[in-house]
Structure 1
Amino acid sequence: MDTTLRDGEQTSGVSFSEGEKLSVAKVLLEDVKVDRIEIASARVSEGEFKGTKRVMQWAAEKGHLHQIEVLGFVDDKTSLQWIADAGGKVINLLCKGSLKHVSEQLRKTPEQHLADIKKVISNAAEMGIRVNIYLEDWSNGMRSSKDYVHFMIKNLKDEKVDRMMLPDTLGILDPDETYDFCSEMIEAFPEVNFDFHAHNDYDLAIANVFHAIKAGIRCVHTTVNGLGERAGNAPLSSVIATVKDHLKMKTNVNETHLNKVSRLVESFSGIRIPTNKPLIGEFVFTQCSGIHADGDNKNNLYFNELLPERFGRIRQYALGKTSGKANIKKNLEDLGIELDADSLKKVTQRIIELGDKKETVTNDDLPYIVSDVLNNDIMEQKIRVVNFSVMHTMGLRPVANVSLEIEGKKYEEFCDGDGQYDAFVKALRKIYKRLGKSFPKLIDYVVTIPPGGKTDALVETVITWKNSREFKTKGLDPDQNAAAIKATIRMLNIIENDFKPGILDKILNSIS
């Protein structure tokens, strides 16, 4: 069960709009094919209600209503009515899983709390709403008040409850405790369907999920990218890979769409995926060492079961100071460039020098480096900025005036925008529209400023573009807008030179 749209939305600073909730729900259920999703908490806000209702309307049309769940509270009919009005059919009822929570937060006895829960279950049955129960703080309950946990499950197991959900609410468990506690639940109540809900406060969420499943749990909760309260929940992608590769068990999940949903949630949440995050990070299928690239050329010596193609990714070979000739040769081959041994040695040395200076080198930088090192005109500057002016006056929209020279001819345009760089790009688009040229889509924009807070520090702007392929360009300048503009002009020249496999090797015949 994926709870990105409920527990994941409890990440600090994250709030999904109606449309975003619907988009993520669609991808999770129809592309990734998770079994269930939890999409909201009842009574939170009017916006939460509208988003829930929109998802429920879509789900009713597509036959997914039974797979969509909403967190509700022990409040007689209030949460149930909220869910019913939104079109929902399943409540995940938040009950207390530790004696401390019952006595100190609710200030009730276990018997009183149990009676309140049974009343909600009865109301739900009358309203045609199925019930799952969250035993909030269950992990602390198992540590300090096991008798209470057993009392609650014993008295609820014969009620109209589909699933008992066992959350490690504060992320306190270790793998051994998880295994022991889950085993105890299954042995004591073999007829109950249990879920396990891990939190990642000690970075043990995946290990705990692994041991919960080993203990016999057959449903676990996840979030896309590991979003969630505090340190987050168990990441969907890591859980799926662990279940398949280490536990040798099957799920309904389509692995090839995991990267797609991760990027979608990254965009909507505003929470960037760490570059080294397993399975979904930008660098996890990137080999940096030249030795690794050489080994991969010799019967894939550095491959494991986590083949990137499984997750809709591709293997890459990074360019930097640890790059050997094998790394660089693979990247050149991707661009259709063939170099003789001496030329390859020179290009390799230049990339190592750039890496020593902590400069980022991308695959799309290679034509520039080859051109510079080998003194040839492979990277013809067909487009250059004659001049530009970007201005922002308080209270007025930013404006840009841009003059370009394209193959010897000058073109000028003026445009306003939502920001100075936006105004600059819109002016470029106007020029390209006049010329009947296509302009790629900007899909990511990353600014890196060295720590220390100096106002004259160099800014590196890396922009990801997409036309027939996806590629990155970067610009370096003390001014952020100027850095972005440099990256943009480099992008235009890459497109104008039309770097495609099979083209550059012809250009470089004279070299080799």
Structure 2
Amino acid sequence: MTHYQTENWWTSPFNEEYRQTLALPEHVQIHDATLRDGEQTPGVVFTPEDKLKIARILANMGVERIEAGMPAVSEADKEAIKSIVKDNLPAKIFTFARAMVKDIEMATECGAHGVVIEVPIGKPKLLYQFGWTWEDVAKKTKEAVKASKDAGLYTVLFPYDTTRADWEDLKNLLGSVCDYCAPDSVGVVDTTGCILPGAMFQLVRRVKNLTGLSVEVHTHNDFGMALANSLAAVEGGADVIHTCLNSLGERTGNTSLFQVLMALKVMFNMDYGTDFGAFKKIADEISAMCNVPLAGNEPIIGDRIFTRESGIGIEMLREKPLAMFSLNPEFVGNEPQIVLGKKSGVKSVEVNLEKLGIKATEDQMRNILAEVKDFGIKNRRLLTDEEFKAIASKELQ
């Protein structure tokens, strides 16, 4: 078997040829922001106990950097960060900060290993929200970056709304800050999820060539391109991806940790020692914790992603699932489901009868199928197990 074809997945062979043309980083770190950006999902509130539990989950998944929160938000947030640091997880703990020396001092007080310093650079932000020039931003940024470096913190400069910046503004800001006191890395931040993957690739390269620093990518999913943009950034040289569990985050959410880990493993052959079979259980636990239900078709972790109503090829779901899916359901702790409705076939009926321990003739199954289709059309939905059982029992009397 090749990398694109294993017992757990079968992806496009064209990926292999394309991957050979890439100069990928030797290693890509995962920086998860569930405890900060994820909690910015409207209505989501994590208790300090929740945060410690989530941090442990993230560390066990192979996440190397955990953004534990923003201590300036509240005393409770600060104490939650301290408790995570004290837990001595096998991950570096970061805080989120404004470009203020007092925020850097709070990060140090919490015992954080690093800090993400946010400053605006997107043109709409500068024009409408702040009324600032890049010079104003640079002036506010320099002392914060220097304070962070002097404190021994790993320092990430996070010029948010990067993808809507004027290039000259971005170039001047990064040049000015780096000349004064260079951070350890620079974030390329797609705050409103509006850049094309090819443009992300180019922008990351430009920032990397300009600064000579490590580049991190932080993407949102407003146009459904969060994962694609994160991978394009890696192809362009980014060596850190920011994620959130369950695609949490403002509006359409941040890049999904589950999707990133799966894509890096399957598409780029990067291994984090992750237990992919635990993904579904973790996703359900986080969903219950934050009271945000998962979409049935959420990639990797959705309840319905291995569900089939159409009768075509239905027997393959159990015999050869990779004939129907690029991922083996068992690999991600899931299983294929054969549901009944308008688009079902005789084989679908046969499989569901077997689940009930019922045998029927070919003619009986066709009669049951007709009833199933009629029910699905009239009610415009799938049948429940009980509804199917009632139809089958009536026909087999």
2:353 matches 1:353: no
CA shift digits 1:131-189 (9 cap, x unpaired): 22212222222546343244246426x63x33222111222211121111112122333
| Conserved 8 A contact 1:132-1:163 | yes
The equivalent of 1:398 in structure 2 is none
Q: 1:360 to 1:299 in 2, by over 3 A?
A: closer
1:333-348 → structure 2 map (5 Å cutoff): 333-348=354-369
Equivalent AA in structure 2 for residue 204 of structure 1: M
User: Of residues 338, 351, 360 in structure 2, which corresponds to 1:317?
Assistant: 338
Give the secondary-structure state (helix, strand or coil) at the position aligned to 2:97.
strand
| Conserved 8 A contact 2:204-2:237 | yes
1:40-189 → structure 2 map (5 Å cutoff): 40-57=69-86, 59-60=87-88, 63-64=89-90, 66-76=91-101, 78-98=102-122, 110=134, 113-114=137-138, 116-125=140-149, 127-143=151-167, 145-152=169-176, 154-155=178-179, 159=182, 161-189=183-211
2:239 matches 1:218: yes
**Aligned partners of 1:132, 1:277: CA distance in 2, in Å?**
31
The equivalent of 1:238 in structure 2 is 259
| Conserved 8 A contact 2:121-2:170 | no
| Conserved 8 A contact 1:317-1:327 | yes
Q: 1:70 to 1:333 in 2, by over 3 A?
A: farther
The equivalent of 1:332 in structure 2 is 353
| Conserved 8 A contact 2:306-2:336 | yes
The equivalent of 2:52 in structure 1 is 22
Give the secondary-structure state (helix, strand or coil) at the position aligned to 1:195.
strand
Equivalent AA in structure 2 for residue 180 of structure 1: Q
| Residue 198 of structure 1, CA deviation | 0.7
| Conserved 8 A contact 1:14-1:269 | yes
| Conserved 8 A contact 1:350-1:373 | no
Instruction: Provide the alpha-carbon RMSD of the alignment.
Output: 2.9
| Residue 279 of structure 1, CA deviation | 1.9
| Residue 284 of structure 1, CA deviation | 0.7
Q: How many aligned positions are there?
A: 366
| Residue 204 of structure 1, CA deviation | 1.7
| Residue 90 of structure 1, CA deviation | 2.1
CA shift digits 1:389-442 (9 cap, x unpaired): xxxxxxxxxxxxxxxxxxxxxxxxxxxxxxxxxxxxxxxxxxxxxxxxxxxxxx
User: Of residues 37, 55, 68 in structure 2, which corresponds to 1:39?
Assistant: 68
**Aligned partners of 1:248, 1:94: CA distance in 2, in Å?**
32
Higher fraction of strand: 1
Q: 1:149 to 1:121 in 2, by over 3 A?
A: closer
Give the secondary-structure state (helix, strand or coil) at the position aligned to 1:44.
coil
Structure 1 runs not aligned, ≥5 long: 376-512
Equivalent AA in structure 1 for residue 48 of structure 2: E
What is the TM-score with the length of structure 1 in the denominator? 0.64
Percent identity over the alignment is 25
| Residue 85 of structure 1, CA deviation | 3.8
| Residue 256 of structure 1, CA deviation | 2.1
Q: 1:248 to 1:363 in 2, by over 3 A?
A: farther
Q: 1:301 to 1:259 in 2, by over 3 A?
A: closer
1:434-473 → structure 2 map (5 Å cutoff): none
**Aligned partners of 1:165, 1:362: CA distance in 2, in Å?**
48
Give the secondary-structure state (helix, strand or coil) at the position aligned to 1:220.
strand
What is the TM-score with the length of structure 2 in the denominator? 0.81
The equivalent of 1:4 in structure 2 is 34
| Residue 348 of structure 1, CA deviation | 2.6
**Aligned partners of 1:108, 1:275: CA distance in 2, in Å?**
43
Give the secondary-structure state (helix, strand or coil) at the position aligned to 1:43.
coil
| Residue 276 of structure 1, CA deviation | 1.8
**Aligned partners of 1:331, 1:221: CA distance in 2, in Å?**
43
**Aligned partners of 1:179, 1:337: CA distance in 2, in Å?**
56
Q: 1:122 to 1:179 in 2, by over 3 A?
A: closer
The equivalent of 2:10 in structure 1 is none
Equivalent AA in structure 2 for residue 202 of structure 1: F
| Residue 248 of structure 1, CA deviation | 4.1
Equivalent AA in structure 1 for residue 384 of structure 2: T
**Aligned partners of 1:151, 1:143: CA distance in 2, in Å?**
12
Structure number, greater radius of gyration? 1
**Aligned partners of 1:268, 1:107: CA distance in 2, in Å?**
39
